[in-house]
Amino acid sequence: MKFLDLCKVYVRSGAGGGGCVSFRREKFVEFGGPDGGDGGKGGSVWAEAVEGLNTLIDFRYQQHFFAKNGQPGMGRQRTGKDGDDIVLRVPVGTEILDEDQETVIADLTEVGQRVELARGGNGGWGNLHFKSATNQAPRRSNPGQDGVERTLWLRLKLIADVGLLGLPNAGKSTFLAATSNARPKIADYPFTTLHPNLGVVGVDNVEFVVADIPGLIEGASEGRGLGDLFLGHVERCSVLLHLVDGTSETIAEDYRVIIGELEAYGGDLAEKPRVTVLNKIDALDEEERAEARKKLEKACGGPVMMMSGVAREGVTEVLRALRAEIDADRLRHQPETEDAPWQP
């Protein structure tokens, strides 16, 4: 299944049915009168957050969603049938934007949340509604109300507790594969990750969700590389895990590149709690580790942890540091099963 996190849809609610002009004509009934029924209400278009989805790929193959029109009223005071609603089932974490891609109409962050995107038109009144003491045989009715037509954008922001950041080949996918059941692509060339991956990580009998996004490069905010298209997926995270390649010759510059892109992205992303980790220390001796850690601590102005995702050295300490930054109500107790996520 391919990953898609942004798509355009066209929705239209149903028009209301027209009212009916009708009169009773029954044998042996001396006085008839109006008996035209009302038109049915048009169907509405809804969006609902459901479980089991983590991509918007279904909307690549169907972009138009039209609700049914209401049926017109009929004689003998019969009301027309209401049009059927249409429900767009989207993943949890989907934002619904207006056509300008800036105005947020709704943000569906919980399973079962629903929002009405286009309301169906009301049905028109039949001539029975216009009967009065001075007008006992009205010959007028109302047409149904037109439906609403809109162009909308759906933007998915994955719901995760921890977001992985770093340059390409910083070891983000290796960390995710080593600590969870996720199996992201891992190779010795940059940009092996082309779309976000989610993994459930367990430590000390609790579990949380980690999101791995494609690596950033300098100028990502201006569209270089894969750009900052996927940074929205870590906006909802409680803490960011910033991995820096310990084998790089420009450790301090690598750190500043990522921080600069976070600041250029805007919002409060750069202000989120961060855990800075020097990765790939299995390739360094003790003297090289100390020198690399000193450079990174000077660049970030704070504590730096050391880890090797391949050798799983220092991984437990990193997971515990991440857990300490996550709100208690977001942590989930880990089930004791054979398929449980990796435990230190």
> Does the pLDDT value for residue 175 go beyond 60?
yes
Report all structural domains of the chain as residue ranges with CATH numbers, in order of start: 1-156 (2.70.210.12), 162-333 (3.40.50.300)
Q: Is 169 annotated as a binding residue?
A: yes
Q: How far apart (Å, rounded) are the C-alpha atoms in residues 318 and 322?
A: 6
> Does the pLDDT value for residue 108 go beyond 60?
yes
- In this prediction, residues 208-223 reach a mean pLDDT of 75
Q: In the chain, which residue ranges form alpha helices assigned H by DSSP?
A: 58-61, 172-179, 251-265, 286-300, 315-325
Q: Is 233 annotated as a binding residue?
A: no
Number of Cβ atoms within 10 Å of the Cβ of 222:
11
The percent of the chain in helix, strand and coil, each rounded to the nearest 5, is 20, 25, 55
Predicted pLDDT at 78 = 93
Q: Is 310 annotated as a binding residue?
A: yes
Predicted pLDDT at 157 = 87
Predicted pLDDT at 212 = 86
Lowest-confidence region among 23-27, 111-115, 186-190, 232-236: 186-190
Q: Is 127 annotated as a binding residue?
A: no
- pLDDT band, very low/low/confident/very high, at 225 (cuts 50, 70, 90): low
Q: Is 280 annotated as a binding residue?
A: yes
Q: Is 195 annotated as a binding residue?
A: yes
Q: Is 172 annotated as a binding residue?
A: yes
Q: Is 279 annotated as a binding residue?
A: yes
Q: Is 248 annotated as a binding residue?
A: no
- pLDDT band, very low/low/confident/very high, at 119 (cuts 50, 70, 90): very high
- In this prediction, residues 224-230 reach a mean pLDDT of 63
Q: Is 106 annotated as a binding residue?
A: no
Q: How far apart (Å, rounded) are the C-alpha atoms in residues 280 and 268?
A: 29
Q: Read off the pTM.
A: 0.77
C-alpha of 180 from chain center? 22
pLDDT tens for 235-286 read: 888 899 999 999 988 999 999 988 988 888 876 788 889 999 999 999 889 9
Q: Number of helices (H) and strands (E) in the chain: give both, helices first.
A: 5, 15
Q: Are 16 and 82 in contact (CB under 8 A)?
A: no
pLDDT tens for 150-170 read: 999 999 988 788 989 988 888
